[in-house]
């Protein structure tokens, strides 16, 4: 049987190591036990009235594509519209769309809490889209306060 | 040859995960079984190694000293270069662990042009590139590790959101490009090229030096591919991770194979960790040249493996032979 040296220091160090390494497992129990992680609801349906009125079959691209790559698409749109004045998007089905977050996307995905925030909060993403694109405004008071806030920033 | 072997090892690992998930549909193995196994191996292996090291005695006081030892009051001593107490030792260890202070003094031998004549003389020059490369690599790796907690925690602490915001402050592209990704890639590439282009360093490099480099490079590369190029369903990834950490593993609907490659390479790194040079994470605390106090002139360091020697002092000797010594007329200490 071997002797162990500096027992107190070694055990303290090992304890700290184990505590840190297993943090993802125990944090739920000791810190945030009240809020269990819930998957964002994948079955929320967008209001399709706008799409139907304009004769579109549905969303611009399919669900898997939109889920994974919508930010790349929006970024691409912004650059094309602002820098190259190309304002029409032709999707894989050959349908023509106006490249606009507020004017196209948010017409069907009108509820920002459900369609944007639920996943963004879950993944810890804070997109700066909504710094300018105003959404979810119920009445003129809210609109005015938001406009004032933006004015102050500028 | 060594480089090729390490490269092929990492390529095989990546391909194994890719084909396993893409064609053989072994998501359960690569997403649940291997990550759990890797975590257990990492925890158990790391702890076992620490206890194994803690059993090794330190026979001598071998503190490295590079400054004046504490002696007389009017001689200024150097707390960190020659620590005389635990304050100095803790300070020195802190600076070693967080800022790699000893690497700051790294030198390289070479022909140095003398200032007076045109001739070259062999000499030593300061070489801070290893210090800088190592520092950039370790800090960005730590930053990335902490940033990944966004997949493990809910609600996500604001500190992690702030870290992420700081990392993406230049708002390049969408998803926003992380600066630490670039720093990590650059520094690991530098640390690799260093082993290739400096002949002496290349000579002493082993396969075990190249494997972690390639593994980390592959992890970074797959992560960057996943985030900026091929994209994965991030919510699916979070669902998997949260199910793993709550001990109710469940596979998400459809997550791209690139994620499983990334996940498997990280698992490999964790499994490899306790058996490799990566254990310097724990080992740095066990460096006797750094963690001992430079007090060898004041306190006797007893070698712990000394066995107890049976001694026979002169006093006892005199007691034993007193009469005989008296008879022979020999001088005695005690009458």
Which range scores top for mean pLDDT: A96-100, B36-40, B86-90, B287-291?
Answer: B36-40
pLDDT at A134: 67
pLDDT at A148: 62
ipTM of the complex model: 0.85
Q: Answer yes or no: is pLDDT of B49 > 60.
A: yes
A8 touches chain B (CB under 8 A): no
- Higher pLDDT pick, B109 / B97: B97
pLDDT at B306: 83
Q: What residues pair up with A31 in beta bridges, in sequence order?
A: none
Chain B residue numbers touching A72 (CB-CB < 8 A): 174-175, 231
pLDDT at A93: 80
A12 touches chain B (CB under 8 A): no
3-state DSSP call for residue A133? coil
CB contact under 8 A, A4 and B54: yes
pLDDT at B154: 81
The CATH class for the domain spanning B2-328 reads: mainly alpha
CB contact under 8 A, B46 and A17: yes
Q: Using CA coordinates, name the residue in chain A closest to B172.
A: A75
* Alpha carbon distance B217, A67 (integer Å): 28
Mean of the pLDDT values across residues B55-65?
Answer: 90
Shortest Cα distance, chain A CAs vs residue B246, angstroms: 6
CB contact under 8 A, B47 and A18: yes
pLDDT digits (tens, 9 = 90+) for A135-151: 655 445 555 565 566 56
Shortest Cα distance, chain B CAs vs residue A33, angstroms: 10
CB contact under 8 A, A64 and B254: yes
Q: Grade residue B244 by pLDDT with cuts at 50, 70 and 90.
A: very high
Q: Grade residue B145 by pLDDT with cuts at 50, 70 and 90.
A: very high
pLDDT at A92: 81
Q: Answer yes or no: is pLDDT of A154 > 70.
A: no
Select the residue of A13, A25, A125 nearest B245 (Cβ to Cβ): A25
CB contact under 8 A, A67 and B153: no
Chain A residue numbers touching B241 (CB-CB < 8 A): 24
Mean of the pLDDT values across residues B134-147?
Answer: 96
* Alpha carbon distance B36, A24 (integer Å): 13
Backbone angles phi, psi at B308, to 5 degrees: -75, 120
A29 touches chain B (CB under 8 A): no
Q: How many CB pairs under 8 A join A and B?
A: 98
Select the residue of A27, A28, A123 nearest B150 (Cβ to Cβ): A123
Residue extents of the structural domains in chain A:
41-148
Question: How many CB atoms are located within 10 Å of the residue A9 CB?
Answer: 12
Which range scores top for mean pLDDT: A70-84, B139-153, B288-302?
Answer: B139-153
Q: Grade residue A36 by pLDDT with cuts at 50, 70 and 90.
A: low
Percent of chain A as helix, strand, coil, to the nearest 5: 55, 5, 40
Mean of the pLDDT values across residues B65-78?
Answer: 90
Closest among B244, B267, B262, B219 to B21, alpha carbons compared: B262
Shortest Cα distance, chain B CAs vs residue A131, angstroms: 14
Lowest mean pLDDT among A130-139, B24-33, B47-56, B314-323: A130-139
Q: Answer yes or no: is pLDDT of B274 > 60.
A: yes
Closest among B139, B130, B125 to B104, alpha carbons compared: B130
CB contact under 8 A, B235 and A3: no
pLDDT at A12: 94
């Amino acid at each position: 049987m071997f002797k162990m040296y500096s027992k107190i220091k070694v055990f303290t160090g090992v304890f700290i190591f184990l505590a840190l390494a297993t943090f993802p497992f125990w944090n739920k129990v000791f810190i945030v036990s009240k809020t269990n992680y819930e998957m964002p609801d994948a079955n929320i349906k967008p209001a399709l009235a706008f799409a139907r009125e304009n004769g579109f079959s549905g969303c611009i691209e399919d669900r898997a594509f939109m889920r994974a790559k919508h930010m790349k698409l929006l970024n691409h749109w912004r650059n094309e519209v602002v820098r190259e004045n190309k304002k029409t998007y032709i999707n894989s089905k050959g349908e023509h769309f106006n490249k606009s977050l507020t004017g196209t996307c948010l017409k069907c995905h009108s509820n920002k809490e459900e369609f944007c925030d639920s996943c963004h909060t879950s993944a810890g993403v804070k997109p700066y889209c909504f710094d300018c694109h105003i959404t979810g405004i119920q009445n003129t008071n809210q609109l005015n306060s938001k406009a004032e806030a933006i004015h102050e920033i500028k | 040859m060594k480089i090729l072997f390490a490269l092929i090892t990492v390529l095989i690992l990546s391909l194994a995960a890719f084909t396993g998930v893409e064609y053989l549909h072994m998501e359960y193995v690569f997403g649940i079984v291997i990550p759990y196994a890797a975590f257990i191996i990492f925890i158990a292996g790391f702890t076992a190694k620490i206890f194994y090291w803690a059993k090794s005695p330190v026979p001598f006081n071998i503190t490295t000293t590079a400054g004046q030892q504490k002696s007389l009051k009017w001689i200024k001593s150097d707390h960190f270069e020659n620590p005389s107490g635990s304050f100095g030792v803790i300070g020195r260890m802190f600076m070693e662990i967080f800022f790699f202070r000893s690497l700051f003094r790294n030198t390289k031998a070479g022909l140095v042009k003398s200032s007076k004549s045109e001739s070259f003389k062999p000499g030593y020059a300061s070489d801070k590139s290893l210090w800088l490369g190592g520092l950039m690599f370790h800090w960005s790796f730590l930053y990335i590790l902490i940033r990944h907690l966004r997949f493990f925690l809910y609600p996500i602490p604001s500190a992690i959101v702030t870290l992420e915001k700081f990392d993406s402050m230049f708002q390049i592209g969408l998803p926003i490009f992380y600066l630490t990704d670039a720093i990590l890639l650059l520094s690991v590439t530098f640390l690799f090229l260093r082993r290739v282009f400096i002949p002496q360093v290349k000579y002493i490099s082993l396969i075990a030096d190249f494997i972690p480099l390639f593994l980390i490079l592959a992890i970074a590369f797959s992560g960057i591919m996943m985030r900026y190029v091929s994209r994965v369903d991030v919510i699916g990834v979070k669902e998997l991770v949260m199910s793993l950490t709550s001990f109710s593993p469940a596979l998400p609907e459809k997550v791209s194979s690139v994620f499983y490659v990334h996940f498997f390479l990280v698992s490999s790194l964790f499994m490899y960790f306790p058996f490799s040079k990566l254990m310097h994470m724990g080992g740095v605390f066990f460096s006797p040249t750094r963690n001992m106090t430079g007090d060898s002139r004041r306190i006797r360091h007893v070698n712990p493996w000394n066995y107890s020697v049976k001694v026979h002092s002169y006093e006892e000797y005199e007691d034993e032979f007193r009469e005989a010594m008296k008879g022979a007329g020999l001088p005695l200490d005690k009458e």
